[in-house]
Amino acid sequence: MTHPTAQAAHAARIDPKLTLGEVALTVHNLSVVTRFYQGVIGLTLLAQDEERAVLGTPDGHPLVTLRRDPHAPTPPSNATGLYHLAIAFPTRPDLARWLKHAAALNLRLGQSDHLTHEAFYFNDPEGNGIEMYTDWPQEQWPFKDGKFTADAAERKAIDIQGLLGTLADDDAGWKGAPIGTRMGHVHLKMSDPRATRAFYESVLGFDIGFDDMGAVFAGAGGYHHHVGNNAWHSAGGPTPPQGALGLRHYVIELSSAQELDAVTARLKNASIAVHETPAGPVVRDAAGNRVLLRSAPSTVESALTALD
């Protein structure tokens, strides 16, 4: 697989009206992991059989899909793959309700106020990283002209009491992830920051908001990032073996069929293999992470097809 260098001429920009679809994971124990995403995260179980599960929002938009493989190998510790998937709630009170729910479950959390968003971190039962967050109003972000400013380095602890204070005394409490919950971003493990930047910027057409300290953040339309990448533990590392535990693919939902054609043309022009599948075109980024491209929002049916 050939990838362009970071010096490649900038391609046309990706249409910022994109969204992220589901993140697909290979797991050993389907029932345990499915119950976790229902009970802890609050996702709705949209479909399930003996080998697959689709979880998402009450209105039927998939966010996480699972494929069972009890024999899947564990990737090396320095392999590329998923760092975390990041589920974004529509409002700050939604995050506060979830936090109270997580506290009742005695869930151990990391946390940070990134000034663009308030985020909590933990792992699912098979070690896949998860972030739960909500965005601050965009006018407050340390972000200008598509790039993080120096103030972005000054992240701080979340004001927990302030967050919980967004809830009324008679708040009904946690009822699960509400409609409007979305896959806000994915954060991946990369092996080569230069090649990763080239793929996301010069081929797919994202803006690079941050490229420093072993991290590359790519976004569109002024969003702080849709795809994060870091090489903190995976610099020079291998791609996971075929069928390994963890990330199977993540989905970019492009704005139209014409946009899908334009993006796939740029990939082919850069000599990057595009594999046509019943679920849509699939490519690998510079770290070998699989990206499924769609020209419309994911559905339960399309999410199940992508797991085959």
- pLDDT tens string 204-216: 999 999 999 999 9
Residue 220 lies in a domain: yes
Domain holding 75, by residue range, is 19-307
Q: What is the CATH number of the domain that holds 25?
A: 3.10.180.10
Give the list of residues 6+ apart from residue 93 with CB closer than 8 angstroms, or none. Answer: 166, 167, 171
Residue 279 lies in a domain: yes
Residue 230 lies in a domain: yes
Residue 38 lies in a domain: yes
pLDDT at 5 over 80: no
- pLDDT tens string 44-65: 999 999 999 999 999 999 999 9
Burial 61-73 (b: 16+ CB within 10 A, else e): bbbbbbbbeeebe
- pLDDT tens string 71-126: 999 999 999 999 999 999 999 999 999 999 999 999 999 999 999 999 999 999 99
- pLDDT tens string 140-149: 999 888 788 8
Residue 14 lies in a domain: no
Residue type, 232: W
Residue 6 lies in a domain: no
Task: Return the CA Rg of the chain.
Answer: 19
- pLDDT tens string 14-42: 999 999 999 999 999 999 999 999 999 99
Residue 2 lies in a domain: no
Contacts 24+ apart (CB under 8 A), 58-63: 58/176, 58/177, 58/178, 58/179, 59/179, 60/299, 60/300, 61/182, 61/297, 61/298, 62/21, 62/22, 62/298, 62/299, 62/300, 62/303, 63/22, 63/23, 63/87, 63/181, 63/182, 63/183
Residue 291 lies in a domain: yes
In this prediction the pTM is 0.95
Pairing mode, strands 182-189 and 227-230? parallel
Query: What is the total count of domains within the chain?
Result: 1
- Dihedral of the alpha carbons of 64, 69, 73, 74, in degrees to the nearest 10: 40
